[in-house]
Amino acid sequence: MRIAIGNDEAGFGLKGVIVKHLHERGIEVEDFGTASAEATPGIDYPDVAREVADAVAQGREDRAILICGTGIGMAITANKVPGVRAAQAHDTYSAERARKSNDAQILALGARVIGPELAKSVVDAFLGS
């Protein structure tokens, strides 16, 4: 399985946790996100979300995880790409249902509203651990 991950500056710290967790599970990750917790001129969450959603829609990535402050903006932007279904989830049940009931390919997380351990569990529920 190949997973894209994208983040803005608000999601930078949680991205590191999730990438490490995915590598420990043997999952290949392609990073589309910012490389700092500081704002990057010319790069905002809609840019990252669109690039990741395009990669999923074109079949270059199997699934994706987007991380910003709340997950809302990333999910809204990703859902504008034809053929993409993105779901914001901060609990394991919603993440599991996003995949099983709605066939979502993209999980959106909010780094300011979820802790790292719960985020790893939500990712596992979304990916099917």
Q: Enter the DSSP assignment of 65.
A: E
Please name the residues in contact with 117: beta carbons below 8 A apart, sequence gap of 6 or more: none
List 53, 68, 109, 122, catalytic entry: 68
- Is 50 known to be catalytic? no
Task: Give the DSSP H/E element, type plus range, for residue 19.
Answer: helix 12-24
- DSSP H helical ranges for 40-115: 45-57, 72-78, 92-100
Q: What is the amino acid identity at position 33?
A: G
| Burial category of 29 from C-beta neighbours within 10 Å (exposed 0-12, middle 13-18, buried 19 and up) | buried
Query: Sheet harboring 28-31: ordered strands across?
Result: 28-31, 2-7, 63-68, 106-110, 86-88
Catalytic residue ranges: 68
